């Protein structure tokens, strides 16, 4: 199976080149801007909580395509875009971005790299418009990962004092629903349209970082 080439191991082939580094930098810039816009466009009244965080629809493909570099992209966008630019102090934005981004993106990457191929599903979302590929995406990337995102994100905001305890049910459910809508609408479009192109250009990361 072709997707056996994708794993979480160190894979020196194909090597990391300038074109890939430029791609990762552009993706980081795109996600940072979209993360910031996603937070300020439809705020829920709490810092860094959005009713429709469109960034999820972009970072999901980035993680599937770019592996460990997708985690770096997520951290940059989470810390700067949905943290610092949204008004969160730097000292809080760093742990907030790392916990929320990596706490959800690492499980996503592990499940897609290790479990998906065993079930006959593409590790990079190439089969998103096929029943099995979409079902796996729906369960993992939409329902489970976004539930984890809502719990981790609001847990951090509660610990920082930005969300009161009595508002947690509304904040968590709004975060989860908004993220699921973004993930299930935007994610498949990007994966379906661009995954073949990204693979054809040799930009996908086959191992953990190369």
Report pLDDT digits (tens) over 152-196: 999 998 998 888 999 999 889 989 999 999 999 999 999 999 999
Task: Provide long-range contacts, Cβ within 8 A and 24+ apart, for 116-122.
Answer: 116/3, 117/1, 117/3, 117/4, 117/6, 120/1, 122/3, 122/195
First to last CA, the chain: 20
Q: In this prediction, what percent of the chain has a pLDDT beyond 70?
A: 92
Q: What is the pTM of this model?
A: 0.91
- The predicted pLDDT at position 149 comes to 94
- The predicted pLDDT at position 39 comes to 79
Q: CA 163 to CA 62: how far, in whole Å? A: 29
Measured at the CA of 27, the angle between CA 110 and CA 84, to 5 degrees, comes to: 90
Count of CB atoms within 10 A of residue 151's CB? 17
Q: Is pLDDT above 60 for 4? A: no
The answer to whether 56 and 187 are in contact (CB under 8 A) is yes
Report pLDDT digits (tens) over 77-110: 999 998 899 888 999 999 999 999 999 999 999 9
Q: Is pLDDT above 50 for 1? A: no
Query: Is the torsion defined by CA of 153, 144, 134, 180 positive or negative?
Result: negative
- Helical residues (DSSP H) of 53-144, grouped into ranges: 56-66, 68-76, 90-110, 131-137
Q: Is 108 helix (H, G, I), strand (E, B) or coil?
A: helix
Report pLDDT digits (tens) over 119-131: 999 999 999 999 9
């Amino acid at each position: 199976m072709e997707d056996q080439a994708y794993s979480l191991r160190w894979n020196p082939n194909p090597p990391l080149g300038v074109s890939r580094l430029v791609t990762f930098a552009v993706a980081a810039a795109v996600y940072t801007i979209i993360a910031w816009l996603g937070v300020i466009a439809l705020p829920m009244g709490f810092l860094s909580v959005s009713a429709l965080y469109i960034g999820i629809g972009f970072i999901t493909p980035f993680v599937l395509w770019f592996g460990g570099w997708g985690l770096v992209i997520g951290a940059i966008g989470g810390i700067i875009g949905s943290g610092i630019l949204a008004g969160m102090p730097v000292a809080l934005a760093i742990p907030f971005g790392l916990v929320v981004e990596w706490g959800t993106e690492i499980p996503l990457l592990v499940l897609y790299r290790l479990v998906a191929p065993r079930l006959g599903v593409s590790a990079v979302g190439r089969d998103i418009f096929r029943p099995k590929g979409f079902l796996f995406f729906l369960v993992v990337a939409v329902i489970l990962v976004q539930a984890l995102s809502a719990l981790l994100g609001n847990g951090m905001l509660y610990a920082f004092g930005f969300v009161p305890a009595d508002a947690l049910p509304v904040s968590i459910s709004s975060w989860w629903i908004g993220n699921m809508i973004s993930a299930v609408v935007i994610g498949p479009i990007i994966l379906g349209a661009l995954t073949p192109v990204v693979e054809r250009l040799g930009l996908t990361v086959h191992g953990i970082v190369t």
